[in-house]
């Protein structure tokens, strides 16, 4: 074992005050002399997604102590995407990803911890923790806290998406208030993250495909006792990694492992948010991996996961047939995942997942007979999105749409129109000024997309935005349009009545307006004033980049040479 970073805080006469603080926390001489292992989680009462962390963190502490380390627990923030949805609070969701990574850097380096175990639960916590791990580049293990169990009403399996869409169904008279209430009360029966292949479960699988976590753990439900065993194992494993000096996060995060992460998103019809998070993780490792790179992987990877929202099944169903290992091994076998990439265990993906169960043909299909020959998520280009846009195509009956634009300057205006049902089939609803800078914070639009779907209009209209979508969004919904309208992107030039053509099969999205007219509109365009002039969001808006690079607030890897 190389010299411990933590010795900068524990060794020598002049560290007597430092040791005094440690003794005040109950550490004795033996504990102070051992490696200091940070454990970060978001346990608290902001969201059910993170409430599984408490018993798992306790188990990780036991594992660390058994293996000769001293665990040091600390917390970071979490913004519930579900509770912040469809109001101003959602502007803090993507922002919290950066805050999580920054806070991990502050504690791990500020207190000179030797290693790190990081827990994720609600959507942005997973990439935020992975970004923090890669930035700090100490021996690290990522642990996803697990999803909730699905609910049931009248023999029908439910996730929280059903409650969102039920609101729209109630508005049309398709269901009554009593049914809406029954769905509300039944759709989330336990703590844990959302049960479908939404953002949390998607990024949990990504952590496996990239090798950043213990193999085949992401689909274990958050309330299962097995998760305590996983965390205890993680505590022992982190001490082994510390003893041998790695592998370090930047040894694991390579272009190939990032491509593996993108492949599992496409193969499972996962969250469009992964198109933001993978470039952001890559940025922390100093790797140029943009939305274009993600899109190339999406296009060549078959859809084999029959998972909600585009399919039928939940994370619990994947667990029941053998876990994420079923998907990963099938993609290794078919050549869509590189099995030579290293994992935290020091073994390759191929070595770790070689004994996985074969696809069952219902929850997970064989790559040779996929649900779709290309991925469940696609990156589009065109004169409306020259730098890219993202759509989830899994579950779509048609991958093309042509209609006339109906423009809204923010999410609230569109939601009002949808609630009033003052829109009609054939329209392309355009929500702009919701990008990373313009929002600021790139709000998710699940509230409005679920209302549309619940009203039975999910494939009769399209929705385009420079904001984001929840992993639970389905329908003809294109987000992450870049450049965003606020900085003068083409979305700012769209007017009511413009024809827009979406062709997801050929990865295109264009407004059918001739170039002289667009040039005239560009000359007339004037930037809007910023929505926030002080506070955290104002600071974020000054720093954040565009979606293709991950909407990050700094470029390149952080270096800490004095810890080398």
pLDDT in tens, 202-241: 999 999 999 999 999 999 999 999 999 999 999 999 999 9
Cα separation, 351 vs 196, in Å, equals 28
Shared domain check, 239 and 91: yes
Residue 52: its pLDDT value, please?
98
What is each CA distance from 115 to 7, 59, 105, 169, 222, in whole angstroms?
13, 17, 12, 49, 24
Which of 338, 369, 400 finishes a domain? 369
41 is catalytic: no
CA-CA distance, 545 to 248, in Å (whole number)? 27
Contact 199, 329 (CB under 8 A): no
**Do the Cβ atoms of 463 and 448 come closer than 8 Å?**
yes
User: Which tokens belong to 418?
Assistant: 């949808």
Task: Give me the pLDDT at residue 217, please.
Answer: 99
CATH at 479: 3.50.30.80
81 and 180, same structural domain? no
Q: Are 211 and 349 in contact (CB under 8 A)?
A: yes
558 part of a folded domain: no
Shared domain check, 244 and 181: no
Q: What is the pLDDT of residue 1?
A: 74
pTM greater than 0.95 (yes/no) = yes
CA dist., res. 289 & res. 392, Å (int): 20
Q: For residue 107, is it within any domain?
A: yes
- The label of the residue with tokens 């099995």 reads 339
Q: What is the pLDDT of residue 561?
A: 74
The set of residues, in sequence order, having a beta carbon less than 8 Å from that of 491 and lying 6+ positions away, is 384, 385, 430, 432, 464, 466, 481, 484, 485
Q: 288: domain range?
A: 34-146+192-369
On the CB side of 52, CA atoms within 13 Å amount to 28
In this structure, are 427 and 518 located in the same domain? yes
Calpha distance 389→400 (Å, rounded): 15
Residue 25 lies in a domain: no
Residue with tokens 């004037």: 526
387 to 284, 291, 409, 498, 546: CA distances (angstroms):
21, 8, 21, 21, 9
Residue of 80, 84, 470, 482 marked active site = 470
Whether 26 maps to a domain, the answer reads no
Q: Considering the domain boundaries, does residue 22 fall inside one?
A: no
Dig out the tokens for 26 from the structure: 């109950």
For residue 560, the model assigns a pLDDT of 77
Bigger pLDDT: 561 vs 94: 94
d(CA 500, CA 389): 14
49-94 tens-digit pLDDT: 999 999 999 999 999 999 999 999 999 999 999 999 999 999 999 9
- State the pLDDT at residue 365: 99
Same domain, 294 and 413: no
Residues 397-437: tens digit of each pLDDT: 999 999 999 999 999 999 999 999 999 999 999 999 999 99
Looking at the domain assignment, is residue 15 inside a domain?
no
Name the average pLDDT for the chain: 98
**What pLDDT shows up at residue 193?**
99
Q: Is pLDDT above 70 for 563? A: no
- Whether residues 405 and 493 share a domain: the answer is yes
Average pLDDT over residues 89-114: 98
Both 390 and 270 in a single domain?
A: no
Phi–psi pair at 530, nearest 5 degrees: -65, 145
Rounded Cα–Cα distance for residues 5 and 36 (Å): 9
Do 199 and 171 belong to one domain?
Answer: no
Is the residue at 229 inside a domain? yes
Are 448 and 513 in the same domain?
A: yes
Whether residue 124 is predicted with pLDDT greater than 90 in this model: the reply is: yes
Give the neighbor-by-neighbor strand order of the sheet with 140-144: 70-75, 36-41, 115-120, 140-144
**What does the pLDDT read at residue 562?**
66
Phi, psi of 119 (to 5 degrees): -105, 140
CA 438, CA 486: separation in Å to the nearest integer?
Answer: 5
Tell me what the mean pLDDT of segment 532-544 comes to.
97
- Residue 564 in this model has a pLDDT that exceeds 70: no
**Residue at 11 is within a domain:** no
Per the CB < 8 A criterion, the answer to whether 46 and 80 are in contact is: yes
Residue 89, number of CB atoms within 10 A of its CB: 15
Eight-class DSSP state of 376: S
Inter-residue contact 544 to 551 (CB < 8 Å): yes
pLDDT tens digit sequence for 275-331: 999 999 999 999 999 999 999 999 999 999 999 999 999 999 999 999 999 999 999
Describe the crossing of helices 177-186 and 160-171 by its angle, rounded to 10 degrees.
Answer: 170
Both 309 and 357 in a single domain?
yes
- Residue environment code for 333-372, b if the CB has 16+ CB neighbours within 10 A, otherwise e: bbebbbbebbbbbeebbbebbeebeebbeebbbebeebbb
- Taking CA atoms, 546 is separated from 280, 413, 434, 487, in Å, by 11, 24, 12, 10
**pLDDT tens-digit series, residues 377-402:** 999 999 999 999 999 999 999 999 99
* Same domain? 203 vs 180: no
* 508 pLDDT tier (thresholds 50, 70, 90): very high
Residues 346 and 493 in one domain: no
**Looking at residue 397, what is its pLDDT?**
94
Task: Say if residues 15 and 119 touch (Cβ distance below 8 Å).
Answer: no
One-letter-per-residue 3-state SS of 56-113: HHHHHHHHHHHCCCEEEEEECCCCCHHHHCCCHHHHHHHHHHHHHHHHHHHHHHHCCC
Number of domains the chain is built from: 3
Provide mean pLDDT across the span 329-347: 99
Last residue of a domain, one of 369, 398, 424: 369
| pLDDT > 90 in the chain, percent | 98
């Amino acid at each position: 074992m190389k010299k411990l970073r933590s010795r900068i805080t524990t060794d020598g006469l002049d560290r007597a005050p430092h040791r005094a603080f440690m003794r005040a926390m109950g550490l004795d001489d033996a504990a102070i002399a051992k490696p200091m292992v940070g454990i970060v989680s978001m346990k608290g009462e902001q969201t059910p997604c993170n409430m599984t962390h408490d018993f798992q963190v306790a188990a990780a502490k036991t594992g660390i102590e058994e293996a000769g380390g001293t665990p040091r627990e600390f917390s970071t923030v979490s913004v519930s995407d579900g509770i912040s949805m469809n109001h101003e609070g959602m502007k803090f969701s993507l922002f919290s990803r950066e805050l999580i990574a920054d806070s991990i850097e502050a504690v791990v380096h500020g207190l000179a911890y030797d290693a790190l175990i990081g827990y994720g639960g609600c959507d942005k916590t997973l990439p935020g923790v992975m970004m923090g791990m890669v930035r700090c580049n100490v021996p690290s293990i990522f642990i996803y806290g697990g999803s909730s169990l699905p609910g049931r009403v009248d023999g029908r399996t439910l996730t929280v998406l059903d409650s969102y869409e039920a609101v729209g169904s109630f508005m049309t008279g398709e269901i009554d208030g009593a049914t809406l209430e029954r769905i509300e009360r039944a759709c989330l029966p336990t703590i844990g993250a959302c049960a479908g292949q939404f953002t949390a479960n998607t990024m949990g699988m990504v952590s496996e495909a990239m090798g950043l976590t213990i193999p085949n753990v992401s689909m274990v439900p958050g309330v299962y006792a097995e998760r305590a065993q996983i965390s205890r194992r993680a505590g022992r494993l982190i001490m082994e990694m510390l003893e041998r000096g790695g592998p370090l996060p930047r040894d694991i995060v390579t272009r190939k492992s990032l491509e593996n992460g993108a492949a599992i998103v496409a193969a499972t019809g996962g969250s469009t948010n992964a198109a933001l998070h993978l470039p952001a993780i890559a940025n922390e490792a100093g790797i140029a991996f943009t939305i274009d790179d993600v899109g190339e992987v999406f296009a060549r990877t078959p859809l084999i996961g029959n998972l909600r929202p585009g399919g039928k099944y939940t994370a619990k169903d994947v667990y029941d047939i053998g876990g994420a290992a079923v998907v990963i091994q099938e993609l290794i076998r078919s050549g869509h995942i590189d099995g030579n990439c290293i994992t935290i265990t020091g073994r390759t993906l191929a070595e770790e997942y070689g004994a996985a169960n074969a696809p069952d043909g219902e929850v997970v299909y064989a790559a040779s007979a996929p649900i779709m020959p290309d991925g469940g998520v696609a990156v589009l280009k065109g004169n409306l999105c020259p730098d890219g846009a993202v759509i989830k195509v899994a579950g779509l009956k048609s991958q093309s749409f042509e209609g006339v634009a109906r423009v809204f300057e923010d999410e609230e205006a569109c939601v009002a129109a949808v609630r009033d049902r003052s829109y009609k089939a054939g329209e392309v609803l355009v929500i702009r000024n919701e990008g990373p800078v313009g929002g600021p914070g790139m709000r998710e639009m699940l509230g409005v997309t679920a209302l549309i779907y619940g009203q039975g209009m999910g494939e009769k209209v399209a929705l385009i935005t420079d904001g984001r979508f929840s992993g639970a969004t389905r329908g003809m919904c294109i987000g992450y349009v870049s450049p965003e309208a606020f900085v003068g992107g083409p979305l700012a030039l769209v007017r009511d009545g413009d024809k827009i053509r979406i062709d997801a099969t050929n990865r295109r999205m264009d407004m059918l307006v001739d170039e002289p007219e667009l040039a005239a509109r560009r000359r007339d365009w004037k930037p809007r004033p910023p929505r926030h002039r002080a506070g955290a969001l104002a600071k974020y808006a000054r720093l954040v980049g565009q979606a293709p690079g991950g909407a990050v607030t700094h470029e390149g890897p952080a270096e800490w040479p004095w810890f080398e």
